[in-house]
Amino acid sequence: TNLLFRVSAVASVKKKKGKKVCDEEVGEIQRSADFFIQPESKATSLNTSQWPLLLKNFDKLNVRTGHYTPLPNGSNPLKRNIADYVRSGFINLDKPANPSSHEVVAWIRRILRVEKTGHSGTLDPKVTGCLIVCIDRATRLVKSQQSAGKEYVGIVRLHNAVENQHALARALETLTGALFQRPPLIAAVKRQLRVRTIYESKLIEYDPERRLGIFWVSCEAGTYIRTLCVHLGLLLGVGGQMQELRRVRSGVLGEKDNLVTMHDVLDAQWQFDHNKDETYLRRVIFPLEKLLVSHRRLVMKDSSVNAICYGAKIMLPGVLRYEDGIEVNQDIVVITTKGEAICTAVALMTTAVISTCDHGFVAKIKRVIMERDTYPRKWGLGPKATQKKAMIQKGLLDKHGKPNGSTPQDWKEHYVDYRYGGGRSSPSDLQTIRIIILKSSTW
C-alpha cells in the first residue's frame, strides 16, 4: 500500500509540473505573438436554411432596408409560453372512422379546454385521415385551409368484372381535369351541379377476383370521391361504388407530417395537467405559421406591427425584406422579424415594383392573425401628431383634433379633412358645389 501511495504521489507531482510547463508555454506565446483581427472585404454569410417555419432561408429574401429598432415584444413561434402556444396552434389529426368531423372537433375543444376550434374540411363519418384542427387564434386560417387542395387514397368496388387492369387505369386517367359533379344523396348540402377539378389520379392495385381497385387522387377542395367512383363505373360500363376512403393530404400537410391520434392529444393534456410537462403538448400541437410556409413573405419593422393589427394600410416604408416572385393579387403572408405571422394579405405590388418604389401601398389586408397590442403602439409619435396633441390640450382644437373657433389660421390653411374627399375644401364649399351641380342638372 505504501508503494502504491508513493507511485500515485509521484504521478500527481509530474502531472502538476507538466500542467505548469504547459501554462508557461501558453503565457509565453500570448506575450510574444501578435494577435489582431484582420480586415476582410467579404462579409460572412448567414446560413438560415435550418431556421424554423417562416424564417427559413431568411437570408435569401430581398433587402429593402436594414434600418429598424428591434423591440423585445413578441417571441419565436416555437418558444411562446404554453398558453399562447396552444391558443395559436393546430393539430394534424388522424380522424378515426365513425364519428363525424364536428364531433371530433368538439372533443378536441373539451380535451384542451379552449374556446374555439375549427377544421380544414369535412370528412364523412366513415372516412379517415388528415383533419387539420385549428385552435382559437388559428381558426382565422380555417377558410384558407378549407379551399386548399386535397389528396385521397380510396377503394372502388366494381359491380362486374372488367377486361383487365389497364382498362381501369385508362378510365381513371380519363377522369382528370374539370368534371361535372352532383353531390351524392347522403350529402348534407344542396344537390346542384358543380364543376370540380381532378389534378392527377393513378391506379395503385387491382384485385380481379374481388373486383376491388385501390387508387390515389389529387383534387380540388369540395370534390366528391364517392361521385367519382360512380362515374368510373359508368365509364367502364359495369357500375361501381366507393368502398373505403382515406385522406392522405390536406393543403400543405400530409400523413407523414406529424399525424397524431385522439389518444395522443388526450395523453399530452393529461401529462401537462398532472406532471406539468408541456413537452408532449408541444409535440402534438404546432404553431399556425406552419400552415403558411408555402406563401410568399413580406417582413415588416417591429414598429409597424401593431398598426397592421389595428387595420392600418401595409405601406412600403414599413417593409424590411420581401420575397422573389410576388405578383399582383397573389396571397402573401406578412411576418415579423421573429417569424410570427401578422396577417395574410393580397399583394398590390410585384417584387419588381417594390424594389424600385419608395412609397405606396404594398398589400391589402385579407385576415389579421396576430392579437392586438402584442407589440407596442408606435403611431402618433411624429412632430405633427405631437403638435396636434398639444393643441388639443390647450383648446385650440376640439377633442377629435378638428378645428374650432380658437384654431390658428395657419393651421386651418394646411388642414386636410379626409371626410370630404381628402381636399382642403370646407363643408360649406362642398355644399355650394353641390347646389351648383343640382341647378345645372335642372337646366
Enzyme catalytic residues: 124
- Contact 401/392 with Cβ under 8 angstroms? yes
End-to-end CA distance of the chain: 128
Residues with Cβ within 8 Å of 206's Cβ and at least 6 positions away in sequence, in order, are 165, 168, 212, 213, 214
Rounded Cα distance, 328 and 419, in Å:
29
Surface-to-core class of residue 295, CB atoms within 10 Å of its CB (0-12 exposed, 13-18 middle, 19+ buried): buried
Residue 397 DSSP symbol: B
Rounded Cα distance, 194 and 285, in Å:
36
* 23 membership: H or E segment, kind and range: helix 2-32
What string of DSSP letters covers 224-275?
-HHHHHHHHHHHHTS-EEEEEEEEEEETTEETTTT-B-HHHHHHHHHHHHHH
- Contact 97/127 with Cβ under 8 angstroms? yes
Using alpha carbons only, what angle is made at residue 146 by residues 145 and 147, rounded to the nearest 5 degrees?
Answer: 90
- Contact 299/287 with Cβ under 8 angstroms? no
CA-wise closest residue to 63 among 301, 227, 245: 301
- Contact 337/268 with Cβ under 8 angstroms? no
Rounded Cα distance, 60 and 58, in Å:
5
CA-wise closest residue to 217 among 165, 150, 169, 130: 150
Residues with Cβ within 8 Å of 116's Cβ and at least 6 positions away in sequence, in order, are 109, 135, 136, 139
What string of DSSP letters covers 358-392?
SSSEEEEEEEE-SPTTSS----S-SHHHHHHHHHH
| Nine-digit cell string for 250 | 390536406
